[in-house]
Every structure is written in structure tokens, then in C-alpha cells.
């Protein structure tokens, strides 16, 4: 399908209350890392699975036929299936899906002092560059190399990533650093606990906010100094039984945990999102920051910013879907495991209606685009509601407009293009 046809189809969809579809396919739940915040770590004992190539091709054909625009191959660790992964990306591109993403926990960047490191990485980079892959993420959980490497169980990987980045850039791939927000992002945020002596809860939260504010600064600096040109934040996916909403979730996607390193209370989350929201503008001119401030602001308000404005509901289960490696079935997302929607190729997307108004978790893959498309859908279907929203909190509209300008300056985070620092410089 040409770009024009695709744009026309998207515009018609928006008028009918639908946003461009997104599908996240978990290729496998196998992983070789030891991240404490994840139920798929190698030390967890359960029968691992992977999807068959026949089923994957059938899912991709169905996705293209149903107009899915964005396709992510996730894991576990997708790079454990590297040859299949490259073939699937080619297949999805040939089927007409324009936005294809995948990533790695970094395992392939280990042993960077071995003589074959450069040739091995160049081969990976060129293989991916020969596919229509648009974005390639590398996840790092702490700006303190030793802490990240201990969490992941990959000694020396941070140096390996820094050595690999120029080889990827030379091949025409600009990887994104994905930070999974947790309590270990920098020295200052580690060990910060409400149990420690603070005169009041408010005093603790104040310190929490300032430490994370500094932490995000350090992390963005670290990302830019390593050589990354795009950075994204994965919001914490704690399943916290003290919190409303997340307690009701039944995660089918194993990338969640009750480990304290990723567990935050609602009032901590409010400070966390405030700190992120306020740090992003300081770095927008230096590195392409994917996290839209409109979405981070909405999460801040949701967790305690005192708004009576309902957040834009997540499009999970309506336009966005998740396919699980273990059963090959479709779910509204990785966290509504009780709602098995069957095989994706049998799913009638037109029957998926706006009944759900879910904001039960903070999965950025689904929450961020839902917020970005929210005002467009509202303008098309309920313009009075949009006017009321803007009159009540004009900041929502301002942030949304700024995000769109920034996204344009970043070529909508095209990971096949280098950053244009002149355009980013306007956001200084």
C-alpha cells in the first residue's frame, strides 16, 4: 500500500473513532538475562515457548490485511531468534506494515574485547539495516554501569553497547535507549525508602521527587554521552496490590513483577512522573526523547495531581493488541490476561468498540500513543468534550501541540535517520 493510501485509511479511521492499529507480538518468552523486575528472567522456572514461523506469517498477513500500522516483535529476548527475526521483519515490510520495531536486552554486545567483536556486530547491524526495520531499542536500567550489569547478569555490556553504537550508525540504524524506570536508575535513587527516617510522608516524597529529578538528568546525560540519539522511558509495570487498578490486572506478559526495585506507591508515582515531566525539556535539544510530555503529565495528574479530567483511555483491546508466545492468542494488552481474544487472524477489529475506558496500568507502548491520538479522536467525535477539556486545563492542549512539534523535529523518531540538531536546537 502506498503512503498516500495508508494516510487516507488512517484519516478515515480517525473519523470513525479508530486510531492506526498497533500489534505487539511476543516471539518468545525465553530470555538469558536476570533482571529482578521481570518474570521472564532466566532464573524463573517455567516451560519456555516460542511462536512458530507459520503462525507468525499468518499473524503478519492478518495484521496487514486489517490495517495494522505498527508492529513490534518483543520477547523475552528477540535476538535469541535473530535469523527468524530478520526474516519476519522483511516479511512484515513486504506485507505493507510501515512501522516495525524490535530490540534487545544487549546480550549480543557482550565480550566487546574479543577480536571478532567488530565484525560480529557489523554483521548484525547490516543484517538489520537490510530489512525495513524502523526502530531498534536497546534496554538499559541504570546509568551506573556496574548496577545495570549486575541486574541483567551481563558483565561488561555497557562498554560493549558504547562500542557497538558507531557500527550501527554506520550501517544506518540509530538505536533507541529504553530505560525501564526502577529504583536503581542512578546512585541517588537507590535504597530510597519510606521506611528510612523522615519526619513526615510529605518530607519523604519531597526527597523522592528531588532524587528522581536528578536521576533522570543523569540518565539522559549518560544516554547522550554513550552515543545514543534516541531515548525512551518504560514506565514501571509493578503489579502492586496496594494500588487500585493494577491489583485487578492478570498479566499474561511476563515483564512485570512485585520486586521492590520496580514497585512504587501511587504517591511515589505522582512524584516520579512529575520529575520526568520536568526533566524532559532540559534535554530535548540534546537527544531525541520519545516520551511525550502530554502523556507523562496525564499520568502525573492521574496519580495525584488533583485533576477531575478523565485521562484519555488506553486503546488496548480496541486498536492495540498483544499476542502471547505461550498460546499464540491475542489479548487486549500484556496485562489483561483474563480476556483471551483468540487467534488474531480470526479477530474482527471492527467489532472492538469504545466500551473499555481502561487506565489500569502505565504501559507506555499503549498509553503514550493513546494520549497523543486522544484529542484527535475527541475533535472528530465529541468536539464539545475537547473544548471543555482545554477550558478546564489549557496545559493539556499546549503540551500536546508542543509534543507534535517536537515529534516533527525528530522525524517522528525515525530510527533510520540521524538527528537534526538544528531542528532539535529550537527546543533548547
Nearer to ligand SF4 (CB atom), residue 205 or residue 255: 255
Residue nearest ligand SF4, CB atom distance: 316
Q: On the CB side of 361, how many CA atoms lie within 13 Å of its CA?
A: 30
**372 binding ligand SF4? (CB under 6 A):** no
C-alpha pair distances (Å), 354 with each of 266, 313, 316, 349: 27, 9, 10, 12
How far apart are CB 142 and ligand SF4 at their closest, in Å?
13
Distance between CA atoms of 282 and 264, rounded to whole angstroms? 25
**35 binding ligand SF4? (CB under 6 A):** yes
Transcribe 336-404 into DSSP letters: BTT---B-GGG--GGG--TT----SS--HHHHHHHHHHHHHHHHHH-HHHHHHHHHH-HHHHHHHHHHH
Nearer to ligand SF4 (CB atom), residue 59 or residue 314: 314
Nearer to ligand SF4 (CB atom), residue 325 or residue 410: 325
If one counts every other C-beta atom within 10 angstroms of the C-beta of residue 279, the result is 21
Q: Which stretch binds ligand SF4 (CB under 6 A): 90-98, 200-208, 299-307, 362-370?
A: 362-370
C-alpha pair distances (Å), 327 with each of 81, 146, 324, 330, 334: 18, 36, 6, 9, 13
Q: Give the N- to C-terminal CA distance of the chain in Å, as an integer.
A: 38
Q: What are phi and psi of 289, to 5 degrees?
A: -105, 115
**77 binding ligand SF4? (CB under 6 A):** yes
**105 binding ligand SF4? (CB under 6 A):** yes
Which of 222, 321, 363, 406 forms a contact with ligand SF4 (CB under 6 A)? 363
How far apart are CB 150 and ligand SF4 at their closest, in Å?
13
Q: Which stretch binds ligand SF4 (CB under 6 A): 92-100, 165-173, 293-301, 333-341?
A: 333-341
**75 binding ligand SF4? (CB under 6 A):** yes
**33 binding ligand SF4? (CB under 6 A):** yes
**332 binding ligand SF4? (CB under 6 A):** yes
Starting at the earlier edge strand, list the strands of the sheet with 99-104: 288-289, 230-234, 176-180, 135-139, 99-104, 68-74, 21-26, 320-323, 330-331
**360 binding ligand SF4? (CB under 6 A):** yes
**148 binding ligand SF4? (CB under 6 A):** no
Torsion of CA 350, 355, 360, 366, to 10 degrees: 30
Which of 19, 24, 25, 38 forms a contact with ligand SF4 (CB under 6 A)? 38
Contact residues for ligand SF4, defined by CB under 6 A: 31, 33, 35, 38, 40-41, 75-77, 105, 249, 255, 314, 316-317, 332-333, 335-336, 358-361, 363, 366-367
Amino acid at each position: 500500500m502506498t503512503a498516500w493510501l495508508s494516510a487516507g485509511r488512517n484519516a478515515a479511521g480517525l473519523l470513525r473513532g479508530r486510531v492506526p492499529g498497533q500489534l505487539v507480538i511476543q516471539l518468545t518468552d525465553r530470555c538469558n538475562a536476570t533482571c529482578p523486575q521481570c518474570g521472564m528472567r532466566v532464573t524463573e522456572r517455567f516451560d519456555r515457548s516460542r511462536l512458530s514461523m507459520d503462525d507468525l506469517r499468518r499473524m503478519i498477513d492478518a495484521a496487514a490485511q486489517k490495517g495494522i500500522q505498527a508492529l513490534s516483535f518483543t520477547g523475552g529476548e528477540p535476538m535469541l531468534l535473530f535469523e527468524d527475526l530478520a526474516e519476519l521483519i522483511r516479511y512484515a515490510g513486504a506485507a505493507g506494515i510501515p512501522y516495525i520495531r524490535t530490540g534487545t536486552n544487549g546480550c549480543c554486545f557482550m565480550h566487546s574485547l574479543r577480536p571478532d567483536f567488530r565484525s560480529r556486530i557489523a554483521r548484525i547491524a547490516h543484517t538489520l539495516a537490510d530489512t525495513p526495520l524502523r526502530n531498534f531499542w536497546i534496554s538499559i536500567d541504570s546509568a551506573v554501569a556496574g548496577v545495570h550489569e549486575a541486574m541483567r547478569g551481563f558483565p561488561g555490556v555497557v562498554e560493549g553497547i558504547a562500542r557497538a553504537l558507531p557500527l550501527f550508525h554506520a550501517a544506518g540504524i540509530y538505536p533507541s535507549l529504553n530505560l525501564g524506570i526502577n529504583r536503581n536508575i542512578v546512585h541517588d535513587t537507590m535504597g530510597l525508602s519510606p521506611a528510612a527516617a523522615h519526619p513526615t510522608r510529605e518530607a519523604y516524597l519531597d526527597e523522592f521527587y528531588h532524587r528522581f529529578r536528578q536521576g533522570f538528568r543523569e540518565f539522559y546525560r549518560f544516554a547522550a554521552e554513550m552515543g545514543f540519539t534516541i531515548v525512551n522511558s518504560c514506565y514501571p509495570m509493578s503489579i502492586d496490590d496496594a494500588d487500585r487498578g493494577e491489583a485487578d490486572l492478570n498479566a499474561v506478559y511476563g515483564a512485570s513483577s512485585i520486586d521492590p526495585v520496580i514497585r512504587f506507591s501511587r504517591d511515589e508515582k505522582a512524584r516520579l512522573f512529575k520529575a520526568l515531566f520536568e526533566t524532559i525539556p532540559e534535554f530535548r535539544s540534546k537527544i531525541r526523547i520519545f516520551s511525550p510530555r502530554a502523556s507523562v503529565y496525564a499520568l502525573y495528574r492521574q496519580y495525584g495531581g488533583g485533576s477531575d479530567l478523565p485521562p484519555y483511555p488506553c486503546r488496548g483491546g480496541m486498536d492495540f493488541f498483544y499476542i502471547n508466545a505461550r498460546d499464540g492468542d491475542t489479548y487486549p494488552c500484556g496485562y489483561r490476561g483474563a480476556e483471551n481474544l483468540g487467534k488474531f487472524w480470526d479477530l474482527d477489529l471492527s467489532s472492538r468498540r469504545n466500551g473499555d475506558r481502561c487506565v489500569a496500568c502505565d504501559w507506555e507502548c499503549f498509553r503514550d500513543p493513546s494520549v497523543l491520538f486522544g484529542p484527535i479522536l475527541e475533535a472528530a467525535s465529541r468536539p464539545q468534550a475537547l473544548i471543555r477539556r482545554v477550558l478546564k486545563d489549557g496545559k493539556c492542549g499546549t503540551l500536546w501541540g508542543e509534543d507534535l512539534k517536537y515529534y516533527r523535529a525528530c522525524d517522528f523518531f525515525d530510527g533510520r535517520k540521524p538527528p537534526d540538531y538544528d531542528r532539535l536546537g529550537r527546543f533548547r
